[in-house]
Amino acid sequence: MTLDISSAPIASDTTDHAPPTDHAPPAGLAELAGRRVRALLAHDLPASLAVFLIAVPFSLGIALATGAPLTAGLVAAAVGGLAAGLLGGTHLQVSGPSAALTVVTAGVIAQYGWQIACLVTVAAGLLQLLVGSLRVARAALAISPAVVHGLLAGVGVTVAIAQLHVILGGSPQSSALADLRSLPAELAGPHPPALAVGLLALAVLYGWPKLDRLPGPAGRFGARLARLPAALVAVAAATTLSLIAELSLARVELPLWEHHRFFAPPSPGVLADHWAALLGLVLTVAAVAGVESLLSSVAVDRMTRRTGDLDRELRAQGVSNLLSGLLGGLPVAGGAVRSTANVQAGAATRASAVLHGCWVLVAALLLTAGLRRIPLAALAALVLVVGVQMVSFAHIRRVHRHREFPVYLATVLGVVLLGVPLGVVLGGSVAVLLALYRLTRAHVEVIVEPDGSRTVRTHGPLTFMAVPGLSRAFARIPAGARVTVRHDGSFLDHAAFEALHAWRADHRATGAQVSMLTDHQAQEVLDPDGTVLVDDAPGPHRCSAWTPWVGHHCIEQNEDDPHVRLLHGVRGFQQHTAPLVRHELARLARDGQTPSQLFLTCADSRMVTSMITSSGPGDLFTVRNVGNLVPAPYEPGAADDSVAAAVQYAVEVLEVSSITICGHSGCGAMKALLDGVTEQTGPPTALARWLRNGRGSLARLRRAPAEFEGRAAVDEAEQLCITNVVQQLDQLMVNPAVERRVADGSLRLVGMYFDFAAAQAYVMDGRSGRFAPVHAEPAQESEPELAA
């Protein structure tokens, strides 16, 4: 199942930020409520209708493919929309009947009956609730993507083959192999009415989205028509054809709701006789539905550029499966097809998923007469297309590029031939064996240098399994030859270590010179101050990444030109760091920047924002100036539009969600303010004019100085540093764009201070106004609330 993330719109979050009030609500609260109502009507309502039109035929088709009562598909769709939509941790994900569990559910129904299938769904929901409560949802993402994609592809192949029988007018068999064996007979004698309806549905499903490719005015008209869901048009066209031509063929057998089969506890004897098999089925349903939901959640987060709560999402899926099983519905999972349609339809909040569940419920209660006219062949065509789409060639190319195709192929064949549980176990076993093979495989290369010396390069982990290859390589080196052994820095076990050093001792005994290095560390030559050397870095700059190089021994001491030193540092980046970050930087160059925060700090060379925030390229929109000042427009002769322009761009164009002003210890600008640089007589210098923007901080220091939580300021300069942060936050609110976003709750202002000597960051607590330390581990008591 594929997700198109290239053109998905970015939806804005509308979480509650309204402050409590004892009297009449402020005008901002009413305005915020009005904006939410307008967003609901403009975005969520149309999106919910679009998803509803896809969900109804899709839910009926999944129920048909599993052999369950068709009402079970509608129950699962309604419960998934209402329960998972209200409780889920991914804002725009839409849940419903799980396509990945079609084969499993069909097997349970065929072997044990519908009531046992409902029991399995209920138990799987309880298990998902338990796992979600343990907050280990992200561990599910550790499953090899090749296994997940292979599972979806195997299920897709199985479902497509089974539904092909329905299109031909027959009935699917109990397994994919049985379906394949009986397929020639079905092809030899198809049922013409069912085949005609099925082919029409297939033609619409594949052709409808391509109407916008028609030339000229027809293309523009086709683009408008293509906005209608292809699944709805295909089912409607096939149903219309069958009614106009009065075709005699099987149609949807939707029972009356008073005859709907709700969950009923099975007899204890059945549970006692089959408890082991049922436990395995519960684990399978919980795992497959959970992983499908979490993968869909991650994909939706990428589309919407949000960060969801996967544990909350898993708990919501557990509640949905529990309710769906009790109400006689199919297993529920977050669906890629429905979620993608929701995002592309312009949904803004989770209300679209909830409304879609309401529409499904209304249709199930009021439109049963119309649903009973739908030919089964039309629904089979819809499910067949979904099954084919689950075999993604993009996924195949990706796993092949990462050398995981054996895992993918083993999972696909295992699911098709052995079923989902054994297929996943087979694929996982191949993934483990492949990983063990790669972890124990090493390549040894002997290079003859122009001066007659030898360089032995090793790639990969050197374990006991690599010792024979090492011995053969060393045996080819003539006695007395100078040798350099270069290892790529990966794992080296005791057996390989002994083999290397025993050979080195023997070779040195012949009078030869042996050097043993890694690509990132010279093991025999370390600097006196412990700085790590990189032996193959170009020029005199031999520091590894993130090593301070000014005044350290990793710079050759005869190199005094700062420009040359910097150039060597750039060359070191090109050799060692650029290959590691090139893929991510290429993505950023292609997709553009989408930072979540504006970080305004001082130009001090010691202030490395990416280091103290553990951020990378594209995370922070950074503004640096002397003293981390935000010029206020009412300061005469001190206004500066460059900072205001950067703030406006971050707030209105980039739509950052927070702005952090970060001061630091030992700030020269604050010391200059205390020394009265702005009060000196004579024409002011450029620096003096700029520092006039800090005079408000000096006044605040005398009036209401900021304080630390749990300690006193070291001196007046440090107290001015943190007071300046508070003052600049106030001056930031003069910007109309900032004031507007803060008022509606979509922007948060944060005050921060960094103490260089202690390497300690402090964050301003919004309740107390004091600067509290940020601890490495969350404290037992409440964390400081960020200033807003």
455 touches 535 (CB < 8 A): no
CA atoms lying within 13 Å on the CB side of residue 243: 11
The amino acid sitting at 517 is: L
Write down the catalytic residue from 662, 667, 721, 741: 667
Write down the catalytic residue from 44, 301, 604, 755: 604
Q: How far is CA 114 from CA 67, 92, 109, 120, in A?
A: 9, 31, 5, 10
Q: Where are the alpha helices (DSSP H) in 692-735?
A: 695-703, 716-732
Structure tokens at 652: 């209105």
Q: How far is CA 465 from CA 293, 390, 439, in A?
A: 41, 40, 10
Rounded Cα gap, residues 111 and 287, in angstroms: 21
Structure tokens at 168: 């031909």
**Residue 665 CB contacts under 8 Å (≥ 6 apart), including other chains:** 714, 718, 721, 753, 754, 755, 756, 757
CB neighbours (10 Å) of residue 135? Answer: 14
200 touches 241 (CB < 8 A): yes
Rounded Cα gap, residues 390 and 180, in angstroms: 19
CB neighbours (10 Å) of residue 202? Answer: 21
Q: Is 606 a catalytic residue?
A: yes
Percentages helix, strand, coil for the chain, rounded to the nearest 5? 55, 10, 35
Q: Is 664 a catalytic residue?
A: yes
458 touches 490 (CB < 8 A): no
Rounded Cα gap, residues 600 and 50, in angstroms: 42
Write down the catalytic residue from 118, 554, 602, 662: 602
Structure tokens at 203: 């033609």
CA dihedral 95→96→99→100, nearest 10 degrees, is 50
**Residue 515, strand partner residues:** 484
**By three-state DSSP, how is residue 458 classified?**
strand
Rounded Cα gap, residues 679 and 632, in angstroms: 19
Rounded Cα gap, residues 194 and 189, in angstroms: 12
The distance of Cα 301 from the centroid of its chain, to the nearest Å, equals 6
Rounded Cα gap, residues 612 and 609, in angstroms: 6
Class of residue 648 by CB neighbours under 10 A (exposed 0-12, middle 13-18, buried 19+): middle
Structure tokens at 719: 């107290």
Q: Token pair 């390589």 is at which residue?
A: 473
Structure tokens at 219: 């293309």
Write down the catalytic residue from 149, 541, 542, 664: 664
- Integer distance in angstroms from the first to the last C-alpha of the chain? 42
588 touches 617 (CB < 8 A): yes
Q: What is the CA radius of gyration of the chain?
A: 33
Q: Taking the alpha carbons of 13, 15, 19, 22 in that order, is the dihedral positive or negative?
A: positive
Most distant pair of Cα atoms in the chain: their distance:
103
Rounded Cα gap, residues 148 and 293, in angstroms: 12
Rounded Cα gap, residues 158 and 165, in angstroms: 12
Q: Is 554 a catalytic residue?
A: no
**Residue 760, strand partner residues:** 755
Rounded Cα gap, residues 716 and 743, in angstroms: 34
Q: What is the DSSP string of 622-689?
A: EEEETTS----TTSTTT--HHHHHHHHIIIIIS--SEEEEEEETT-HHHHHHHTTGGG-SSSPPHHHH
Q: Taking the alpha carbons of 644, 646, 651, 657 in that order, is the dihedral positive or negative?
A: negative
Write down the catalytic residue from 305, 403, 606, 775: 606
**By three-state DSSP, how is residue 5 classified?**
coil
Catalytic residues: 602, 604, 606, 664, 667
